[in-house]
Structure 1
Amino acid sequence: MKMHTLNKVLSVMAVACFISTGCSTKISDEAPPEIKVSGSKTGRSKSEHTNYFLAKGKYADIKVSLPEPPKADSALFENDIAVYRETRKLKGTKLWEDARINADMSPDNMCRYFSEPAGIELSKEKTPWTYYLIGKISGDASRSAKEAKKYYQRKRPFVYFNERTCSTLEDDKEHIDSGSFPSSHSAYGELVGLILTELIPSRQNEIISAAHQFGYYRVVCGFHWASDIEAGRQLAAYVNAELHANSEFMHALQMAKKELSAK
């Protein structure tokens, strides 16, 4: 067979493969590992305690990476109090209800919440690797924040003022004795936002805005001071840097990039 004829046959075979099986655009048959998801829809997801990429000792030293919470006699704490009192006026509004709904840190709710700013429907069924990433990093955000909470033992605003939050009484009781600084919701929301902007850079403004709003909901709800939210955002940046040195995370990130690029 002449060379040009052979090349023609091979070209036809390649086209046939593309049409009949889609092999030229196939990403991977590899499915992400399963993640455990359980817990209350009104509070923290239990998955945050079992899903994580980083070993415990890999988290940034909070005494170095985060500033201390504002002192009781400081201007920053006066601002925290002013913001808390102002947000009490939001009770009964849509923002108050949104804050209640987004107390839920489950990967299903996080995917629902970030789908619009990401410009794509995120779900376990349609974007399994992205769903896996979002669910898996919940523990990295919460465990790093937990160390700081235990260290600083800052009183939550609803405890400080002996008031109710936007959530359920059960949820309030679960948070009475846990520290306020920094906000794990803020850290998690910001971490998800940072990762999604890397996956979908064309939507970075919308995604980061949504991530900031997710943290602010905790101020609206009454679980956190404004300075807790800012500390959570800072913590997310440190955790994100540590994650990028983790091979398991980087593999999942690349798989998520591939699945989203095919959308």
Structure 2
Amino acid sequence: MMTQQTQPIHNRFISMLLILFVCSTLIINAQNKERRPDNSTYFSTNELPDPCAYLPVPPDTASTLFVDDYMRWIWGKSIRNTERGKQASWESLYGVKRMATVFGEAMNMTISKEETPAIWRLLQRVGETGNKATGKAKRKYMRVRPFARMNEHVWGEFDNEWDLRHNGSYPSGHTGFGWSTALALAEMAPEYQDTILRRGYEYGDSRVIVGAHWQSDVDAGRLAASAAIARMHTSAEFLEDLEDARVEYQRIKGIILQKKETDYPHIERIIDYPDDTASYRHYGDVTYYWQAKAERTTPRGEDAVTDTACHVNYFLQTYGACTNIPIDITSTPDIAAFVTYLFEKLCDACSQAKSGTFRQRPFLRMGEHSALPEKDAKYSTSSSYPSSHSIIGWGIALALVEVMPDCQDALLERGYEYGRSRTILGFHFKSDVQAGRLVAAYSLAQLHNDGVFRQLLTAAQKEYANSIYLE
């Protein structure tokens, strides 16, 4: 039993132990942060957006939606013995070493662990996180890869067939690595954004050429990577790594910091042009058009009609339904201000993306009316490619993931379906909507260099955190 004399001694002893424990914990945490390996990811698989929640099921071989996958498989085989085919085989090597060469060429510089440790670290951590973002869907669907489905061998010189046969094809992990890295580097080095993004785009298509992935795997991989990058922007470690890499890049390039306007990336330099009716890929757009058209008389078709709205209040309402708090100019003025500014900037991105090409709308191409004939005249004179609704809807969803990451799956699902509504109504081909989502992702990469955007984003994040706390 403790006496009154021993009680103070005992208390001091306990206090000293607590102090030692706290100090040792701080030291260990500091060491862990310092020693965190370059190949560690910013988030675990369970923390990242779940592709099973916001992406569609991969097309089955019995589905008409498989047409585009099959046609692209034929295309890939047809160019294997060309320079593009050699590039695809060379790019089959997974990991930061190959990415360093790919994007080093895009930025006209050498990237290595010794010469550019900060950029190397960013490449590896972002890429591995982007790859991890595809994991849940890979394991759920375990889709058979093209070379295995067609009873052939994979053509990539660095691909391991046994590994690929036991790893799901959908979505593409290589694409998750490459596209997420491209988005991060485009933000870090906006002077080279077009070449960076083009190489990131090609890296995904290379997987189709070598027979390791179907085209829909690659398309899904790019969306998973875009979602992962949005979530990465909520990580203090990612932001620190990005800034370290930016400083290193600017020092090497001799770039003097100055405030200047940077154009959005140019779609014609990044994404392949929309397919004409003479293209084999047009079959994929047409089959998807007919399948989407069948939904017009269903409740999903009614939702598509509602989704014709494209203004700030509608987005506050539709994405507000994904959260536990009301989002409007009165209840959450900072979030409303952020969405308003983002909407205006994404409209600018739409104008730039549409200015270089004109594609006829699906309902006109098919010689019929859209689901809303009263709007046909309006849409007859504007380009179908890329989809403005898709750019804005997906872009706002990605940005709101940075504000309210706890709602990420619901936000992304809503953003995805908002774009799909355009195919149901007959206003856009599927490829128009897909291109729009890519434009949204790389436009956000540029917007993160906008001081006003960052200021409004920070205010929106604080407001949401306070609102959740009060709830």
Deviation at 1:98, TM superposition (A): 1.6
Whether contact under 8 Å (1:65, 1:235) holds in the other structure is no
| Structure 2 equivalent of residue 191 of structure 1 | 180
Determine helix, strand or coil for the equivalent of 2:147: helix
Q: How does 1:213-224 map to 2 (within 5 A)?
A: 213-224=202-213
Q: Please name the residue that 1:99 is paired with.
A: 88
Out of 110-119 and 208-217, give the one that drifted further: 110-119
> Tell me, which stretches of 5 or more residues in structure 1 are unaligned?
1-31, 37-46
Aligned partners of 1:156 and 1:179 also within 8 Å: yes
Structure-to-structure mapping, 1:72-87, within 5 angstroms? 72-87=61-76
Give the distance between the partners of 1:34 and 1:245, measured in 2 at CA.
18
**1:30-58, CA deviations, whole angstroms, 9 ceiling, x for partnerless residues?**
xx85746xxxxxxxxxx5xxx21113321
2:227 maps to which residue?
Answer: 238
2:49 aligned with 1:60: yes
Q: For residues 64 and 250 of structure 1, what CA distance do their matches in structure 2 show?
A: 26
**Are 1:201 and 2:197 counterparts?**
no
Task: Count residues in correspondence.
Answer: 220
Correspondence list, 1:142-181, <5 A: 142-168=131-157, 171-181=160-170
Change (3 A) 1:170 1:220: closer
Instruction: State the partner residue of 2:100.
Output: 111
| Per-residue deviation, residues 179-206 of structure 1 (Å, max 9, x unmatched) | 1100001111000000000000111111
Higher relative contact order (CA 8 A, sep 6+): 1
TM-score, normalised to structure 2, is 0.44
- CA RMSD of the aligned region, Å? 2.0
**Alpha-carbon distance in 2 for matches of 1:173, 1:249:** 34
| Displacement of 1:170 | 7.1
Contact 1:106–1:135 (Cα < 8 Å) also in 2: yes
**Deviation per CA, 1:75-117, whole angstroms, max 9, x where unpaired?**
3311111110222122332222221211112212111111121
Amino acid corresponding to residue 247 of structure 2 in structure 1:
K
What is the identity, as a one-letter code, of the residue corresponding to 1:259? E
Which residue in 2 is equivalent to 1:23? none
CA contact under 8 A between 1:35 and 1:135: conserved in structure 2? no
TM-aligned CA distance change 1:228 to 1:170, over 3 Å: closer
1:132 is the counterpart of 2:107: no
Partners in 1 of 2:229 and 2:213 — Cα distance?
22
* 8 Å CA contact retained: 2:142, 2:169: yes
Contact kept? 2:186, 2:196, Cα under 8 Å? yes
Partner deviation per Cα, 1:1-31 (whole Å, 9 max, x = no partner): xxxxxxxxxxxxxxxxxxxxxxxxxxxxxxx
The 8 Å contact of residues 73 and 209 in structure 2, kept in 1 or not, is answered as yes
TM-aligned CA deviation for residue 238 of structure 1: 0.6
Q: Cα deviations across residues 228-247 of structure 1 (Å, max 9, x unaligned)?
A: 10100000111001111011
